[in-house]
Structure 1
Amino acid sequence: MIDMINTYDHEDAELLAAAAAKVVPVLAELIGRARDAGAPVIYVNDNFGAWRSHHGELVETALTHPHADLVEPIRPDDASLFVVKTRHSIFHDTPLSYLLWQLGVGTVVLTGQVTEQCVLYSALDAHIRHFDVTVPRDAVAAIHPRLGFAALEMMERNMGARIVDASDVDFRGTRRPLAEE
């Protein structure tokens, strides 16, 4: 889940919030299915420039802003993992690759926002790290729809990403056996 814990207090926020409103119900259902399947649910999020904050603070801050209705249905539960990112990609300067390796994850299902930036760059970084990539087209939000569609096409064509509907995501194949299993 990329950047969905958001205050929507930035340039293009209203465009993004409108797009996010369409995907939040899909994300809530997808998160429930992932949890039911025992797949790890990992939130990777900007920290709003608050480098001393932790994920609980980020969630609480987002819930005090006008678009809290976009955060509440998908807020992390106690079993969710949370990684703070520094830039657009979920992998750049984060421990995510190591975490995924530790969890035995072979396929990442990328959801969230912004399709034409953070999701696209994260898909590329996942691809070059030899993860299989699935992106549910109805579980990502774009600021600019035309660029979002182009980004999905690039992920599919250039990175071999599976672009599917959220209802077609099967979490059973996302993990590979761990050495100790």
Structure 2
Amino acid sequence: MDINSPMSETALLVIDMFNTYDHPDAEQLATNVAGIVEPVSDLIARASAHDDVAVVYVNDNYGDFAAEPSDIVKAAVEGARPDLVRPVLPGPGARFLTKVRHSAFYATSLDYLLTRLETRRIILVGQVTEQCILYSALDGYVRHYDVVVPPDAVAHIDSDLGKAALAMMERNMKAELSAATDCLP
């Protein structure tokens, strides 16, 4: 991080959008991801236009501990659903962290980065609502971040579990559930 980078009270965390869609529940997930690509892409563009909003991509390394962010993105673009990946590709110099488990915070430098940026508010978008989004929201909450989750910018595998996860985030983690269009000015 450049020490001259502007502080970012808000950070948009783009979670696990680089997926090859070659796993057992891929078809069901891809159908739901198709519905969030536009709101996520729009939110990334709007956040990128703000000097005081950080955009941070956090993606699973799928067990490949030698994978660079570019390898993860390339595999997703070359995967079964490049149409779900291309609209959310990171621009040059994008902040990109790899994770190994469900939470964007677990075993990553995310909390350190957000602390350096003086971030207080995190907006979580991506996949999977009842897994990585839920656990990232919990870890953000216990670290005293204000958590925002736009329901129209997160994708679930199981509809009932996705709804339950959103309810848990709102009730137990005090997450603000707002449409993607309302998360940023």
TM interval, shorter chain, is over 0.9
Provide the TM-score with structure 2 as the length reference. 0.90
Are residues 1:55 and 2:69 paired? yes
Q: 2:22·2:80 contact (CA, 8 Å) conserved in 1?
A: no
Partner of 1:149: 163
Partner of 1:16: 29
Q: 1:40·1:80 contact (CA, 8 Å) conserved in 2?
A: no
Are residues 1:104 and 2:118 paired? yes
Are residues 1:139 and 2:130 paired? no
- Provide structure 1 residue ranges, at least 5 long, that are not aligned to the other structure: 172-181
Are residues 1:167 and 2:181 paired? yes
Q: CA deviation at 1:79?
A: 3.5
Secondary structure at 1:88's aligned position in 2?
Answer: coil
Deviations 1:51-101 (A, max 9, x none): 111001111111111201100000111132101001000111111000101
Are residues 1:114 and 2:128 paired? yes
Secondary structure at 1:41's aligned position in 2?
Answer: strand
Q: 1:135·1:161 contact (CA, 8 Å) conserved in 2?
A: yes
Runs ≥4 in structure 1, deviation > 3 angstroms?
A: none
Partner of 1:70: 84
Greater strand content: 2
Percent identity over the alignment is 49
Provide the TM-score with structure 1 as the length reference. 0.92
Q: 2:146·2:175 contact (CA, 8 Å) conserved in 1?
A: yes
Secondary structure at 1:71's aligned position in 2?
Answer: helix
- Provide structure 2 residue ranges, at least 5 long, that are not aligned to the other structure: 1-13
Partner of 1:126: 140
What amino acid is aligned across from residue 36 of structure 1 in structure 2?
A: A
Q: CA deviation at 1:9?
A: 1.3
In angstroms, what is the RMSD of aligned CA positions?
Answer: 0.9
Q: 1:4·1:113 contact (CA, 8 Å) conserved in 2?
A: yes
Secondary structure at 1:94's aligned position in 2?
Answer: coil
Partner of 2:48: 35
* Number of residue pairs aligned between Structure 1 and Structure 2: 171
2: distance between equivalents of 1:80 and 1:110? 17
Q: CA deviation at 1:139?
A: 0.2
